Amino acid sequence: MHYDPDIFLRDYWQKKPLLIRNPWDAWRNPLDPDELAGLACEEGVESRLIVREEEGWTLAHGPFAADRFSRLGAQPWTLLVQAVDHHVPDVAALIDPFRFVPNWRIDDVMVSYASDGGGVGPHFDQYDVFLLQGLGKRRWRVGPLCDGSSELLPHDDLRLLARFEATEEWVLEPGDILYVPPGFAHDGVAVGDDCMTYSIGFRAPSRSELIEGWCDHLVDEMQEDDRYSDPDLRVQGNPGEISEAALTRLHAMVTGKLLDRDAFACWFGEYNSAPKYPETDWRPEEPIGRAELADCLEQGMALARNPASRLSFIRRADGLLLFADGRSFACSGETVALAEAICAQAQVRLDPTAGRSPETLDLLAALIDQGSLAFDQED
C-alpha cells in the first residue's frame, strides 16, 4: 500500500477528508457478497438492513432469514454487518495498513453491501473512518462539519441529517479509499449493483463515558468504612457554617482518588481492551498444560491472535503492563518483548527455547486460556 502515514497524520488526520486512489499493489476484494449475507444470518453477529422507500427509510436488525435478501423489492437497500474482521481473516488483514494509528483507537471493520442507489443517507459520525471500496462503485459526497445542534430527520433509529449540501464529490472504484474525520457530513450511494464498502472505524471515548466508567470503578473498589473524619475539630462561631478546613478535607477525599494517574492508567487499559463482541470465543475446552505449551513452542508452532481480541500496553519503569480482553498482565524481562510482539503482529513465532522460561509460559498460558491467543492449526 503506497501513501505516507506521516504526511497523512500531519495534514489530514482529524482535520479534513482525503481521497486516496487505489494505493494497493494489486487490490483483491477479500469477501464474497454471499459470505457477507451468510454472516448476517448468524446469531451473535450484529447486522442491519436499511431500505429506502417512498415514505422514507426503514431499518431492520438481524439475524435475518436465509431468504430475506431474495425477497427484497426494487427499492434501493443496504446490508451492514459489524465486526466482520472478527470472523474473516482476510478482512481482518485490511486493518494492518492503518496500524500507524494505535491499537487502542481501532474499533472494527464494518462491511456494507448495497443495491443500485442504496445507502444509509446523509449523516455524520463521532469517529474517524476509512471507507475502502471493495467491489462495484459508490458515489460519496462530503459536506461541512456538524455537531449536536445539527438538525436531524425524525427517525427512531437512524440519525440522518435534515439538510445536506455537499462541498466535494467523488466516485470510488475498487481499491479506492476515502478518509472522513469526525463530524464531517457524508453520504454514500451505490452506483450500480454489487457495491461493497469496508469501513475501518476508530474509537473515540467521550468525556462522559470516561468519567462515568472511571468513577464507577472507583466506587466499586471503595470500602464502606472509608469515611470522612475530623479528629482536630474545633468549636465554630456558627454551627451552620461548612468550614474551609472541612471543604478542603472533603475535596481531597474525592480528588485524591480521581487524580491517581497510575490507577487510572491500569483501569483505562482494562476498560479499553474489554471485548466488544465476546461471542467470538477462542477459549480452549481445557486449560493448556505447561508441558503441552512448551512442546508446541519447541516444535516452532506459531501463535495467532484472536481477531476479536483487543491488545495494548503501557510502558512502566520496570517493564510494561499488557492489556488483553479486559485483563492486565505485568511484564518484565523477556516477557516485555513477547508482549510487544503480540500487540504488533497478528501471528507470532517464538524461539523454540522460549518454553524454558516459566514467566513466558505463565503469560502465554493465561492468554491462551482466556482465548486471546491460540496456536495456528494451519501453520
Q: How confident is the model at residue 55 (pLDDT cuts 50, 70, 90)?
A: confident
Could you give all domains of the chain from N- to C-terminal order, each with its CATH number? 5-202 (2.60.120.650), 290-375 (3.40.366.30)
Q: How confident is the model at residue 156 (pLDDT cuts 50, 70, 90)?
A: confident
Mean pLDDT of the chain: 93
Per-residue pLDDT tens digits for 257-283: 999 999 999 999 999 999 988 777 789
Q: What is the largest CA-CA distance in the chain?
A: 82
Per-residue pLDDT tens digits for 293-319: 999 999 999 999 999 999 999 999 999
Q: How confident is the model at residue 379 (pLDDT cuts 50, 70, 90)?
A: low
Q: How confident is the model at residue 21 (pLDDT cuts 50, 70, 90)?
A: very high
Residue 70, pLDDT score: 85
Residue 116, pLDDT score: 96
Q: What mean pLDDT comes out for the span 87-104?
A: 94
CB-based contacts of 16, cutoff 8 Å, min separation 6? 181
Q: What mean pLDDT comes out for the span 338-362?
A: 92
Residue 71, pLDDT score: 87
* DSSP collapsed to 3 states, 141-167: EEEEECCCCCCECCCCCCCCECCCCCC
Per-residue pLDDT tens digits for 60-82: 999 999 889 888 878 999 999 99
Helices (H) and strands (E) in the chain, counts: 9, 15
Residue 258, pLDDT score: 95
pTM: 0.91
**Lookup: cell for 202:** 476508530
Answer whether 367's CB lies under 8 Å from 323's CB.
no
